[in-house]
Amino acid sequence: MGGGGNYLKSLQGKEIDLAVVWHPFCAQGITEGWAQYPTITHNATKTVGGLIAVLALNRGFMDKQREAAQRLVSAYVDVVKIAQADPQRFAKIYAEKAGLPEAVTAEAIRYTRFDVALPLASIKGIAKFLFDNGVIARDVTGEVEQYHTYEFLARATGRSAADLGQSK
């Protein structure tokens, strides 16, 4: 049980034979030479699509603090732009903030496709996956569409809701 670090420790101690972990934990094993990538890529999974991060705000905050919500989403978009434009710089910042060797963070982002699009189908897939696996107590898949908004992301990117994934 626990996070990726626990799995790495258990693998190295030969307490377990296999673990499927996410980055940067996978990258740690890769750069140290004792792990391998799976034969699938997270960017192609049908469960969550290529999403590696989702930013969520509760309705109360969003309604009462609209400017703060917009600034938060805009800051996220700005960071993604930095990562897209200069992966080496992003790896360096990531290493510094995460307290990891830069080789690990560079490996962690090597196959990552940075994009702020947020397909509605992926959001629903995540919700269903979380419910099916006991992470959330209730299946909210059918409610996602009525609560999800592309308003802040569209404003931050200058892209339409349809282009950002509303109809995908």
Burial environment of residue 164 by CB neighbours within 10 A (0 to 12, 13 to 18, 19 or more): buried
Contacts of residue 113, defined as CB under 8 A and 6 or more positions apart, other chains included, come to: 43, 50
pTM beyond 0.85: no
Q: pLDDT tens, 94-126?
A: 999 989 999 999 998 887 778 888 888 888 888
Return the pLDDT at 140: 92
Q: What's the first-to-final CA gap in the chain, in angstroms? A: 34
